[in-house]
Structure 1
């Protein structure tokens, strides 16, 4: 008996007769152990005749169709077969898929299967499909050049492309490494061997590594260096072959050294744009920014529009894309982007021998950001990067996608995959471990988070739409939820609490840690006092050892460290946990609506479909505990 296949994957197999493509979305039950094996066989042949006439379809001996929960055939031309469940033709109720589960109650468990109705016919039927924007046709055969290739978002993007469009061209991956051998080692260890790609491994079986190496090309380089640090011959190849450039290189550390953040997030896009202008076949440059690059938007109030950030007369300011009738004038001084870059780099040249330089540069980043109206050095340097792209793009078509807080996968390639702690995750884990009883935040503030697979789908749709248009404009897309499907911080706290009540963190002695509903604090003093009291209470027996009434040194040290950690987190997150701005996503909604129904199934990113309670409690936190914490704190399995 083979192991149960628990992942969802897509498989495409062309037919020579009808020009159709098969899409397999499978969660194979253990009662049909041959399903995955048959799928791999089909994938490897790539020339299997799926039909002998239009009115009947059979895959292999029929078992693979029967063994999979969902099966779709979609046409690369004018017709498409509807979904099949256990051999029957499915009729998809699209309206129910577009409903918002956070505002409208859905029967069942709220999963997609409860929102799909199935017909009873055993014969295959075809339906006329909306042509959509042609995502598959656009990506097919294209050569990509991707920076930040070993990062969280880029890896999910690469996985999606290879799984849905296996006949894509080459994907050149810019990897920081000492030499080609080291780059190849990173390619294997961080991408090919990553759990993220297990669905592709199941599809291709023994030929998986050969397939991956036939598509992925590691190139040694660094966006901080002229010509991206590429060797001359490698640079020539990419300039001749690249059709699409995706810039996802970034440092996302809120407290990064200011000079480092400027080098990667600001100068990096400028250097990449200079390289892109020499690419002979380039159709589009897509830059991954952040919705928070808009800044504090006039004290965090208003609706932030999908508009470019521009340098006007050599200067710019935070919040200029915000619609806010209450606060018409910005309280922040204007920003001289080029002057800011020079200042940071001169600072390093002047004090490079100073042992405290790293700390000073981190403090400088936060100081400059707060002065000019951004949350931190990360958002400020990302904003300046956008400004330099806008100023230097020339005739190159540019798309800028601005995701909000990117978190674990919602559905693809399987729910809950995440590689490292993201923005809200340290707080979630600290709460689950019993280290935090609460946090300073406004319960009515919306935290704008977005699953990474939705970001990837929106990215592919945006590059298709504007790559085919070929216009030398800058198009902006907020991939965000705060307008269409807002998640209040008080609801987030409730969902996190629900998870740790049902699946508590297990301490080193095997005891479950029982958490109480999180408190909210209006000041740092109140927050700090509560932490001190909590630690003393947990270690009450030890405090009685001190005859003079003072805390024992060990307990005091523990208290101090926890307070410092909590204060550090509170200071970092304050601009986000009290941020009242909302990110308009009208462009993204129109882009979503332009997709055909089949494209929506494959590349959909309807944020209204996110059930926040299910995602936070049953998808994201379990993914965090399994993939990042590697099962630490979970009850050992028998």
Structure 2
């Protein structure tokens, strides 16, 4: 069977989105509002002290962004009215029970009305404080699920995870769920309640020592890495996202989808090519190289960098929800990736980056072009090869990036391929999520790197 009209499914639907101020959340909102302006309502959960500040945050961090340029141009002075009619700002926090929604009337309305939940809220810092990452990435997933169980009209819950929940696994990485207590080291067993208790104990110790906030930050960051490494994960982010998945995947009787994107980059085509939000992940390396700050980095030239444009991730999310609602694809997990179908290695990315910046140098604050003389050098062994970076923030970044720039895994996406098979018409009608349709040289030279230059390096949002 073939999927029908994708936008039609969302007409009259009420959707709850967590993480609406994040990169993926913004692009999801833009797409839904553009292709189906007749959705009934968007509940957007925002961390804030009050509704006024939450509304301001959404205005400046989401709807005022260049991402919404096409819709602002199309609707003109009616854009603000359109947003206010569709969007309900919800002050809350995924780390709290019932998502921290204190307004009883609003909570009651949400539970009665919500048809779809898209849970994309997360802290994506690799070395986040263990207590913060656990509260957001692990218990946040549990709290969203608990809320979803009470939604009377729920049709779909989509949980955004990461393809790197399987750490530094080599070879073909399948789309299979974790079982509760699973670790990446066969000899150990993971107890989420114990991890929470260890966090409480560590914070109590620090409080008893009257540690200042800077010390608490440092200790809790290191503690997260230690606990992650103990169970086989390279960092706190992947560890806490994996635990969140365990809680989600083991929840029965919910219409559930888990998507695992790889390294999410700028838009490919929609709403226009090259929009990107912040200097993280691969953007960080390109930004630093173009500014002449990063001349060498950790990595292996042959490493397949699994990058995927953000609009393809959003399209896969939307199509998966419709396919699940029609029982055309009932898989639980989808690796949204490019490494199997259209791989590109680290060396090719750096070749294109060098080529781009030699032709289009970054102009510094003094109005002078930063001339790039060499392709970035890659090293894979000791920190001694990074002498200019010893003892700096760059040394920390290099160690955090190492698991991904020397990665030896390839992500199987058979479930996503099945989805593409039933969504051929949808792909042709503006919901493309097939990485084989990416010409990497064109994307890097004419879309992605210019996007980083425009939106991140020049800080023009």
Instruction: Count residues with an aligned counterpart.
Output: 454
Give 2:191's aligned residue: 336
> CA offsets per residue over residues 16-62 of structure 1, 9 Å max, x none?
xxxxxxxxxxxxxxxxxxxxxxxxxxxxxxxxxxxxxxxxxxxxxxx
CA 1:403–1:466: 2 relative to 1, 3 Å: same
Q: Residue 232 of structure 2: which of 350, 362, 373 is its match?
A: 373
Give 1:436's aligned residue: 294
> CA offsets per residue over residues 554-575 of structure 1, 9 Å max, x none?
xxxxx76xx5133112111111
CA 1:135–1:167: 2 relative to 1, 3 Å: same
Alignment of 1:178-577 (within 5 A): 178-230=49-101, 231-297=103-169, 301-311=170-180, 315-318=181-184, 330=185, 333-352=188-207, 353-355=210-212, 356-391=215-250, 393-469=251-327, 475-515=332-372, 516-529=374-387, 531=388, 564-577=392-405
Tell me how far 1:236 sits from its aligned partner. 0.5
Matched, 1:579 2:451: no
In 2, the alpha carbon distance for the partners of 1:439 and 1:156 equals 30
Alignment of 1:123-202 (within 5 A): 132-202=3-73
> CA offsets per residue over residues 60-96 of structure 1, 9 Å max, x none?
xxxxxxxxxxxxxxxxxxxxxxxxxxxxxxxxxxxxx
In 1, the alpha carbon distance for the partners of 2:447 and 2:10 equals 30
CA 1:510–1:180: 2 relative to 1, 3 Å: closer
Alignment of 1:35-184 (within 5 A): 132-184=3-55
Larger relative contact order, structure 1 or 2 (CA cutoff 8 Å, min sep 6): 2
Q: TM-score, normalised by structure 1?
A: 0.69
Higher helix share: 2
> CA offsets per residue over residues 198-255 of structure 1, 9 Å max, x none?
1111221221111111111111100011111102111111000000011001000111
In 2, are the aligned partners of 1:133 and 1:596 still within 8 Å (CA)? no
Unaligned runs of 5+ in 1: 1-129, 319-329, 532-558, 633-638
Cα RMSD (Å)? 1.9
In 2, the alpha carbon distance for the partners of 1:505 and 1:425 equals 14
Secondary structure at the aligned position of 1:316 is classed as coil
Tell me how far 1:371 sits from its aligned partner. 1.7
Give 1:99's aligned residue: none
The higher radius of gyration belongs to 1
In 2, are the aligned partners of 1:133 and 1:594 still within 8 Å (CA)? no
In 2, the alpha carbon distance for the partners of 1:591 and 1:478 equals 11
Secondary structure at the aligned position of 1:520 is classed as strand
In 2, the alpha carbon distance for the partners of 1:481 and 1:385 equals 24
CA 1:366–1:523: 2 relative to 1, 3 Å: same
CA 1:137–1:522: 2 relative to 1, 3 Å: closer
In 2, the alpha carbon distance for the partners of 1:435 and 1:158 equals 34
> CA offsets per residue over residues 172-221 of structure 1, 9 Å max, x none?
00011111111221222222222111111122122111111111111110
In 1, are the aligned partners of 2:299 and 2:379 still within 8 Å (CA)? yes
Secondary structure at the aligned position of 2:158 is classed as strand
In 2, are the aligned partners of 1:407 and 1:422 still within 8 Å (CA)? no
Tell me how far 1:630 sits from its aligned partner. 2.7
In 1, are the aligned partners of 2:427 and 2:433 still within 8 Å (CA)? no
CA 1:224–1:441: 2 relative to 1, 3 Å: same
CA 1:503–1:304: 2 relative to 1, 3 Å: same
In 1, are the aligned partners of 2:426 and 2:432 still within 8 Å (CA)? no
CA 1:506–1:194: 2 relative to 1, 3 Å: closer
In 2, are the aligned partners of 1:222 and 1:228 still within 8 Å (CA)? yes
In 2, the alpha carbon distance for the partners of 1:133 and 1:365 equals 45
Unaligned runs of 5+ in 2: none
Tell me how far 1:440 sits from its aligned partner. 2.1
